[in-house]
Amino acid sequence: MRRNGWEKGNTNDKQWWVWVSLSAFLHPRALVGTMSPAIALAFLPLVVTLLVRYRHYFRLLVRMVLLRSLRDCLSGLQIEERAFSYVLTHALPGDPSHILTTLDHWSSHCEYLGHMGPVKGQILMRLVEEKAPACVLELGTHCGYSTLLIARALPPGGRLLTVEWNPRTAAVAEKLIRLAGFDERTVELIVSSSEEVIPHLRTQYQLSQVDLVLLAHRPRRYLRDLQLLEAHALLPAGATVLADHALFPGAPRFLQYAKSCGRYRCRLHHTGLPDFPAIKDGIAQLTYVGPG
């Protein structure tokens, strides 16, 4: 069932059952030790059914958490650093399109990067080209994938400020952005938290208004940062706010606020996760109509 363009469902229930099933899968002795064999056998078909039904989530968990943690320990490098090493040896410097394609290939065939991916990327580029924003604010640079997408689609003279709180991740993104050929006049990377940057955009970064915002950091911070942008009058009428991962892992409080506060026209672009199309996700598009 959908209301006002948003999809409504029992996501929390699904995630709870997934984690219960995973606990049974990874720690069966813990479960068996706390119940009789008869109860354990009765519970087993349910566990198997959930493992089969939510197999895509388990595959994602294995690739994104378990294998990544193991490789982090063995290599001493973050996944973004390993991805950049691959880009250096396989991508063409100065060619953003080829660098993006190289990252997609590495994520699909080597390690799952958890980036925006080509499907969402096409949506993002199309919206940036349609809106032709003079200034874009990106919260959550990560490896720099979505940053390159935005920079490619900017109109002549357009400016992109991208914010990343993790210094090691930001260092990789900085190298990737410069490798693609974008200088600091076009793309400026700020190493700080979004809640510290937003109140100082006018005074410290000479940014009086933001025509387009991409929220791509942590979904639980989307609502806080949107309200900070409102409180500091950084959104002009007609400004566009895009929120990645609107459905998975999801930002329900942000979506509820957007559709109930009366300040936004809302739309959801439905997609799946890169390499996991069965896991439904989407990009929320908000158009700011004014303070109401």
pLDDT in tens, 125-139: 999 999 999 999 999
Instruction: State the Cα–Cα distance between residues 229 and 232, nearest whole angstrom.
Output: 5
* Torsion, CA 119, CA 137, CA 236, CA 248, rounded to 10: 40
> Looking at the domain assignment, is residue 44 inside a domain?
no
Q: Are 152 and 96 in contact (CB under 8 A)?
A: yes
Parallel, antiparallel, or unpaired for β 159-164 and 135-139?
Answer: parallel
> Looking at the domain assignment, is residue 16 inside a domain?
no
> Looking at the domain assignment, is residue 46 inside a domain?
no
> Looking at the domain assignment, is residue 59 inside a domain?
no
> Looking at the domain assignment, is residue 89 inside a domain?
no
Instruction: State the Cα–Cα distance between residues 271 and 283, nearest whole angstrom.
Output: 8
> Looking at the domain assignment, is residue 144 inside a domain?
yes
Q: What is the CATH number of the domain that holds 258?
A: 3.40.50.150
> Looking at the domain assignment, is residue 48 inside a domain?
no
Split into its structural domains, the chain has a count of 1
The reported pTM is 0.84
Domain with 208, as residue range(s), is: 116-288
> What is the Cα Rg of the chain in Å?
21
Name residue 115's amino acid. H
Query: 3-state SS string over 247-261?
Result: HHHHCHHHHHHHHHC
Q: What is the mean pLDDT of the chain?
A: 89
- Of 244, 206, 205, 201, residue with least CA distance to 222: 244
pLDDT of residue 13: 53
Name residue 161's amino acid. L
Please report which helix (H) or strand (E) contains residue 242, including its range.
strand 240-243
> Looking at the domain assignment, is residue 64 inside a domain?
no
Average pLDDT over residues 177-206: 97
Average pLDDT over residues 143-156: 98
pLDDT of residue 291: 86
